[in-house]
Structure 1
Amino acid sequence: MTDYLIANARIVNEGQRREADVLIREGRIEKIAAAIDAPGDVEVIDAQGRFLLPGMIDDQVHFREPGLTAKADLASESRAAVAGGITSFMDMPNVKPPTIDNDSLAAKHELARGRCTANFGFHFGATNDNIEDIKQLDTRLAAGVKIFMGASTGKMLVDDDTALEQIFEHSPLTVLTHCEDTPMIERNAARARELYGDDVPMSEHPVIRSREACYASSSKAMDLARRHGTQLHILHITTADELELFERGAMGNKQITAEACIHHLFFEDSDYAARGTLIKCNPAIKTHDDRDALLKALAEDRIDVLATDHAPHLFEEKDTPYFDAPAGLPLVQHAMVSLLDHVSAGHFSLEQLVTKAAHNPADRFGVAERGYIREGYWADLVLVDMDGQTVVDNEPVLAKCGWTPFSGHTFQSRIMSTFVSGQLAYHEGKLSQGCIGQALTYNRDRRR
């Protein structure tokens, strides 16, 4: 393994900024100091005053393996992730077969080992009838327990109230929820068919998958968590209404935490006219006012975690009528630059970005020795140029699906280098060969 000295960096970590050098040996941060003499056996990367951040820990991705690998796979999407400043990811369980027992969880780890450029973790899936599997879950192999309380297929939709009660009562790990009320959505979809037939315009998507459906489900999840004392993380909040449910302040020992995703911070409902089904996702992108409310909630620490919900589909699948087009879009490659644009616009600080994209995901799921720039920790780092540009159409799309919803856009920052477990995974626009991510490990002392 090559060792590195990152010189002349502006480190942003744990709410502070400092100018320092970082020495990386055998994959870990050996020393952080104002000036480090370069040992003769290390490769020096001169940061030239650029910002050095902890790599993003993306707690919500759909890399489609096993079973859906025409759309994406662990190898392809993890390469796109490191190009986007993501050093660790947690993959969702709605694959084929779904990750709903210890055998399928272990098999997914085997698929990932040696093939992922980023570090990897996996969430365990809840169903209406796998409570015994949840009770017997191997917590060394899972990041959390995911409940689709709306918007999933097959066995993954949990819509039985008795099952929900049992899952919230017995889950040995943090519960993550996709919150939408399915009966409400089905009624809204039926009304849209009555109005438009099969030619439903994309502008109806946030009407069908309505704010009321989101609020009803989020409220229900919070009630279940409070009654059972469950650690709950509600994914991809999209409405101003829901934000009022969450506490302001540092994540600390919050029992219930909230997450926002990069596409809900970037797009608004007026974008459906131009982008159509390419930005169809669940929960739906809502209004300009909702987007502004999300940005405000990030600044006031009502939202605790930033993620992508990367969920690629083939272009030809998306290029179909409303009801046929699947929900989800590829996002990891432009994750960090998208968020950095919000920093430049003054919506929240660079320190808050680091907290919500790296520190808080590590703490929320008990990720061991990652998510911070600390001596002894794994060197998961991203060097960013806040004065650079990322012209989306000038670069190859690394996601296997071959398209991006950000086509035509120029971001006002650039990822210069990404280190994964001390390996240079991405540097000056090119993926490095031979970078192998590690399985995430967990310290469960502080959080369930």
Structure 2
Amino acid sequence: MGKQLLKNVMLVNENRIHESDVLVKDDIILKIDRDISDPQAKVFDLHGHYLLPGVIDDQVHFREPGLTHKGTIATESRAAVAGGITTFMEQPNTNPQTTTIEKLEEKFQIAAQSAFANYSFLFGGTNDNLEEIKRLDKNACSGVKLFLGSSTGNMLVDDEAVIEQIFLNTEMVISAHCEDESTIRKNLANYISRYGDDIPVKFHPVIRSEEACYLSSSKAIALAKKTGARLHVFHLSTGKETELFRNDIPLSQKKITAEVCIHHLWFSEADYDTKGTLIKWNPAVKTAADREQLWKALLDDRLDVIATDHAPHLLEEKDNVYTKAPSGGPLVQHALPAMLEKVHEGAISLEKMVEKMCHNPAILFEIQGRGYLREGYYADMVVVDINNPWKVTPSNSVYKCGWSPFEGTTFKSQITHTFVNGHLAYEKGRFSELRKAKRLTFERD
């Protein structure tokens, strides 16, 4: 790749915005300074544009293996780089499930051949694979994933004795989907008795309720405190749950952390009338008051990471009665533009957004050499034209499933360039077919 020189960018990094040049050699940031010149470098004059670290998405479902009619590691990582996401962590509820070391390595082999963005995977915990978790090297992958409430793929872990043993027997981050299954089943049975299978989707947040979320997340946190486990609670959806988390110590010292997803920051129950099952997620999009409290907790650092929970389904799958319509939707291409829209609205600063989407995932998962614009770090970089409006349409959405929950939305900011390990993977609607992505490495003692 040689040398590349990005000139006159507004660099957003480590709570600071300043004009700078960035010199890249091969896959590494060589120098960050004003007025760099290098006759051997390919020059990008980016005056007026912002340069961010590549976004790290700690929760995606790219559907490979086994569910590739919905998406693949290739198609969805390609969409990710179009959205400025240069690193992803993929979840284990594929077919077959990623619950053995052999299946984990098979996914790494697929990604090595097909991924457009840097990659790692979460290893799935089950009621009966504790011995496999014990064998897993702590630097092998992102961490362990537990579905403490069932979702797409049905990897429910509901044996409390097993859960405690998993908490006691891994040093890795345990990422948890927290919804109480018995509460959900009781609520669902009630609504099926009233409506049959065709339950109005507006009742989704009542079925997958605040009570179900809080009961499960509070129990997981209590167990983490008891065992000393390193717990990360995925996709918080309720204001009540935010009370469970701390903001009085640095992220690097936290043993219990939390994530919030784009859809829970953007949509509310009012949107079910127009979006229907397109915004059916687990956990459910809940009230505007919940959304407001999630924003408050994000800004005061009780919530540490913004992610997508990208989980594509075909439109014909979504176009079903409530009990048959799957939960999840595609988000990686539009997550950063959506958050930049919130920057324009004054809901969050550009610096804080970068902290939550780039720096903090790197800290939380102890990722080596990524998440920041620093000399000596990998050159994962995103160029943003902050004032160049565009409208989301089916024709400019590149997910394999062919749709977006943001269709019809006009975003003020565009991603113009995405560099993955110094390679220009995406430029103004055009993709490089070269793949320069790397398997993540970690710095865990």
- TM (normalized to structure 2)? 0.98
For the residue of structure 2 that corresponds to 1:123, the secondary structure is: strand
Residue number in structure 1 paired with 2:304: 304
Residue number in structure 1 paired with 2:94: 95
Q: Which residues in structure 2 correspond to 1:195-344 (within 5 Å)?
A: 195-249=194-248, 250-344=250-344
Matched to 1:107, the amino acid is E
How far, CA to CA, are the matches of 1:140 and 1:103 in structure 2? 16
Residue number in structure 1 paired with 2:128: 129
How much is the aligned-residue C-alpha RMSD, in angstroms? Answer: 1.2
Matched to 1:141, the amino acid is A
Superposed displacement of residue 295, structure 1: 1.3
Runs of 4+ with >6 A deviation: none
Superposed displacement of residue 172, structure 1: 2.6
For the residue of structure 2 that corresponds to 1:114, the secondary structure is: helix
Superposed displacement of residue 141, structure 1: 2.5
Matched to 1:363, the amino acid is I
Matched to 1:7, the amino acid is K
How far, CA to CA, are the matches of 2:15 and 2:410 in structure 1? 28
- TM (normalized to structure 1)? 0.97
Residue number in structure 1 paired with 2:58: 59
Superposed displacement of residue 248, structure 1: 2.0
Residue number in structure 2 paired with 1:40: 39
| Contact residue 58 and residue 90 of structure 1 kept, 8 A | yes
Matched to 2:157, the amino acid is V
Matched to 1:151, the amino acid is S
| Contact residue 114 and residue 437 of structure 1 kept, 8 A | no
| Contact residue 16 and residue 351 of structure 2 kept, 8 A | yes
**TM-aligned CA distance change 1:236 to 1:5, over 3 Å:** same
Residue number in structure 2 paired with 1:404: 404
Superposed displacement of residue 436, structure 1: 2.5
1:164 matches 2:166 = no
| Contact residue 56 and residue 358 of structure 2 kept, 8 A | yes
Structure 1 gaps of 5+ residues are none
Residue number in structure 1 paired with 2:418: 418
Residue number in structure 2 paired with 1:16: 16
Residue number in structure 1 paired with 2:85: 86
Residue number in structure 2 paired with 1:138: 137
Relative to structure 2, which stretch is displaced further, 341-350 or 358-367? Answer: 341-350
Structure 2 gaps of 5+ residues are none
Relative to structure 2, which stretch is displaced further, 152-161 or 189-198? Answer: 152-161
1:431 matches 2:431 = yes
How far, CA to CA, are the matches of 1:334 and 1:11 in structure 2? 21
Matched to 1:114, the amino acid is Q
Superposed displacement of residue 306, structure 1: 0.6
For the residue of structure 2 that corresponds to 1:418, the secondary structure is: strand
Superposed displacement of residue 342, structure 1: 1.1
| Contact residue 425 and residue 431 of structure 2 kept, 8 A | yes
Relative to structure 2, which stretch is displaced further, 61-70 or 383-392? Answer: 383-392
Residue-by-residue CA offset, 1:273-310 (whole Å, 9 max, x unaligned): 11111111100000111111111111111110010000
Superposed displacement of residue 383, structure 1: 0.9
Relative to structure 2, which stretch is displaced further, 338-347 or 103-112? Answer: 338-347
Matched to 2:238, the amino acid is T
| Contact residue 128 and residue 155 of structure 1 kept, 8 A | no
- Give aligned-pair identity as a percent: 52
How far, CA to CA, are the matches of 1:252 and 1:95 in structure 2? 31
How far, CA to CA, are the matches of 1:3 and 1:284 in structure 2? 46
